[in-house]
Structure 1
Amino acid sequence: MKLPVMPPVSPMLAKSVPTIPPDASYEPKWDGFRSICFRDGEEIELGSRNERPLTRYFPELLEAAQAELPERCVIDGEIVIATERGLDFEALQQRIHPASSRVTMLADHTPAAFIAFDLLALGDDDYTRRPFSHRRAALVDALAQTGPSFHVTPATADAETAQRWFDEFEGAGLDGVIAKPLTITYQPGKRVMFKIKHERTADCVVAGYRVHKSADDAIGSLLLGLYTEDGALASVGVIGAFPMAKRRQLFTEFQPLVTTFEDHPWSWAAHQAGDRTPRKNEGSRWNTGKDLSFVPLRPEHVVEVRYDHMEGERFRHTAQFNRWRPDREPHSCTYEQLERPVTFSLAEIVPGLGSNNR
């Protein structure tokens, strides 16, 4: 492979801002795996945000790149799995699997798509020093005939349209808006763009904790629960961003609430298999050496957390601590408090997206 921009490349990043800034190019914020695609003839590589290769996990995109992309190019974008119900990040996570046979099977049953939103190189030309307005125009022209696997993200210079996208597109699984100053060059690893994400709060029950990986007397993360309509306590996610002194304080404060699995709403957690559940001794898909066992607590404490959006019945990302709620009764912490976005079709955002899944 010999391109004007060679792998690995750290993608250009965005910093969070509370509102949509003026005088920028606005795009939907896609919820997938950030990736830079390098193509030099028959050689194709997919790099990740942390500069590690994703190539082996998405064989269908390699085949599609041969058919849809310019002969020699470097394109920044997002790998997503699109369905008629919206983006499916859970299915995307399943693709990071060591067994090639499983990857091949999933590539056939849940094929991925690539949403392109920046151009780093085309032919022998390095575009990274050009302003974004030039890169965007060249990207649209270079990928004019792509599809059904490679798509160019919509963009607008109208802030009101961007606000409408922010409000509506969440129903298709997108999680906000990206704003790019028109004059910025491509700056790998630098936070020179802006992201506006949904942020909400929820009152959750603290149902357990994991011990910190480097201190036996400190909390690593707190496990959160919400009650369902039938009164069961469901696992919804974790919070874990505390200073070390606070982690030790919480560890001490929660010791009187430690209980056994037999006396806990998640008694099944000691023996039931399943991904992303707080199961004792369960391994992690992302780090097979990570211990995800937890200490059960009597569900008596309520905490208010910040979150962006849900993925099924769980928080999509790690929630953030907001405040303790001693005034709330744990059984009042139900799913009814959560805001559910109105369903929105991916095909209305990018024509044809989500229609090629089998």
Structure 2
Amino acid sequence: MDLPVMPPVKPMLAKSVKRIPPGMQYEAKWDGFRAIVHRDGDEVVIGSRTGKPLTRYFPEVVAAVLENLPARCVIDGEIVLPWEGRLDFDRLSERIHPADSRVRMLAGETPAGLVAFDILALDDTSLLDAPQSERRAVLETALAGASAPVYLAPATTDQELAQDWFERYEGAGLDGVVAKPLDLPYRPDARAMYKIKHERTADCVVAGYRFHKSGPVVGSLLLGLYDTSGALQHVGVCAAFTMKRRAELLEELDPLRIDPAAHPWSAWADATAHEGSRLPGAPSRWSGKKDLSWVALSPERVCEVAYDHMEGDRFRHTTQFRRWRPDRTATGCTYAQLEEVVRYDLAEVLRPG
């Protein structure tokens, strides 16, 4: 491979802001695997956000790249998995598997696609120093003849339309809007763009915690919600605390410690128990040899957390601790409090070039 921009490349990133800033290019924020795609003739390399290769996990995307992208180019985009009218991150995650036979099987059963939203090089020309507006024009021309499963990300400079996208596209599995300054060159691994994500709050049961990797202080709080059958389901964690606060939490939560055998999640270490319930420490190829043990707490204390959106019956990302809720009872922390997002057909967003 001989391109003006060679792998690995870490993608340009975005920092969170509360509102959509004016005077920029706006795109939907995709919920998938960020990917830098290098193509030089028959050679294709797909790199992850951290620079690690994704190529072997998505043979159908490699085939689509060879069919749809220019013969020599570097594209920044997102690998996504459309399923039943929305993006499905859980099914996408299943594609990262060590067995090639399973990868090939899933490529046929749950094929992924590529959403292209930036171009770093074309033929012998590096576009890293070109402004965002110029790169977008080159990208649109380069993908004019592309067809599914390669898509050109919709973009606009209309702030009102971007606000409309922010409100409507979530129902298709997207999780916000990205704003890019029009004169911005491509800056690998720098938070030079802006992202505006949905934020909601929920009252959750604090049912346990894990220790921090640095020592005997609280690393993350394990959160639970009651389902319609009255079972406490593990829905996620909140983990952003100062070291001082982590030490305080250890002391604060100590009176709530109980025998794990008496806890609703006592079967967490049994792999078969995860088939019917959401429990902490679910076996995962993502966790590797990571210590998933946790300290059981009597499920009676309630906290309010901020979250962006749900992935099935769990929080998609780590939540943000907001406050304790001594006025709430744990049994009142149910899924019923969560806002239901209006469904939106992904086909209205994902269109070929």
Same fold (TM over 0.5): yes
Q: Distance in 1 between matches of 2:313 and 2:133?
A: 40
- Output aligned runs, 1:257-272, within 5 Å: 257-272=256-271
SS in 2 for 1:161: helix
In 2, the alpha carbon distance for the partners of 1:287 and 1:2 equals: 35
1:164 corresponds in structure 2 to 164
Query: Aligned partners of 2:28, 2:180: CA distance in 1, in Å?
Result: 11
1:136 aligned to 2:165? no
| 49 and 191 in structure 1: CA distance in 2 versus 1, 3 angstrom threshold | same
Indicate if the aligned counterparts of 1:261 and 1:270 stay in contact, CA closer than 8 A.
no
Task: Report the Cα offset of residue 213 of structure 1.
Answer: 2.3
How many angstroms apart in 2 are the aligned matches of 1:321 and 1:345? 32
Q: Partner residue of 1:325?
A: 325
Contact 1:284–1:291 under 8 Å retained in 2: no
Q: Which residue of structure 2 lines up, in the alignment, with residue 356 of structure 1?
A: none
CA distance in 2, matches of 1:189, 1:296: 39
* Distance in structure 2 (CA, Å) of the matches to 1:97 and 1:252: 40
State the partner residue of 1:245.
244
Q: Matched residues in 1 for 2:133 and 2:323: separation?
A: 43
Conserved? CA contact 2:151–2:351, under 8 Å: no
CA distance in 2: counterparts of 1:112 and 1:64, whole angstroms: 10
Match of 1:227 in 2: 226
- In structure 2, what is the equivalent of residue 119 of structure 1? 119
| Whole-angstrom CA distance in 2 between matches of 1:316 and 1:4 | 37
Task: Note the C-alpha offset of 1:283.
Answer: 4.4
Matched, 1:44 2:13: no
Structure 1 vs Structure 2 CA RMSD = 1.7
The Cα shift of 1:262 comes to: 3.2
Amino acid at match of 2:351: P
Distance 1:134 1:88 in 2: 32
Q: Distance in 2 between matches of 1:283 and 1:256?
A: 29
Partners of 1:325 and 1:136 in 2: CA distance: 47
Instruction: Tell me the equivalent position of 2:178.
Output: 178
- Return the TM-score normalized by structure 1: 0.94
Structure 1 residue 155: Cα displacement: 0.7
3-state secondary structure, aligned to 2:155: coil
- The separation in 1 between residues aligned to 2:34 and 2:278, in whole angstroms, is 25
Letter of the structure 1 residue corresponding to residue 267 of structure 2: W
Verify the 8 A CA contact 1:69 1:143 in the aligned structure 2.
Answer: yes
Give the % identical residues.
58
Q: Which amino acid aligns with 1:245?
A: K
Q: Give the letter aligned to residue 318 of structure 2.
A: T
CA distance in 2, matches of 1:10, 1:32: 16
Contact 1:201/1:305 (<8 A) preserved: yes
1:66 equivalent to 2:46? Answer no
Tell me if the contact between 2:156 and 2:162 (Cα under 8 Å) persists in the aligned partners. Answer: yes
User: Cα offset for 1:247?
Assistant: 1.5
Moved more, 269-278 or 62-71: 269-278
Contact kept, 8 Å, 2:233 with 2:279, in 1: the verdict is no
TM-score of the aligned structures, taking structure 2 as reference length: 0.96
The answer for the alignment partner of 1:296 in structure 2 is 296
Partner Cα distance (2:211, 2:279) in 1 = 13
Aligned to 1:84: 84
Give the whole-Å Cα distance in 2 for the aligned partners of 1:19 and 1:163.
9
SS of corresponding position for 1:269: coil
Secondary structure of the structure 1 residue equivalent to 2:156:
coil
Alignment partners' CA distance in 2, 1:59 and 1:51 = 18
- Distance apart, 1:268 and its partner CA: 2.8
Distance apart, 1:278 and its partner CA: 3.5
Distance 2:97 2:157 in 1: 39
Unmatched segments (≥5 aa) in structure 2: none
Gaps of 5+ in 1: 354-358
Paired residues, number: 351
Counterpart for residue 204 of structure 2? 204
Structure 2 partner of 1:100: 100
Cα deviation, residue 279, structure 1: 4.3
- The residue type paired with residue 245 of structure 2 is K
Q: Does the Cα contact within 8 Å between 1:284 and 1:292 map onto a contact in 2? A: no
The Cα of 1:261 is off from its aligned counterpart by 3.4
Aligned 8 A contact 2:115 2:153 in 1: yes
Measure, in 2, the Cα distance between the counterparts of 1:101 and 1:213: 36
Counterparts of 1:23 and 1:218 in 2: how far apart (Å)?
45
Report the CA distance between 1:352 and its aligned residue. 7.0
Code of the aligned partner of 1:133 = S
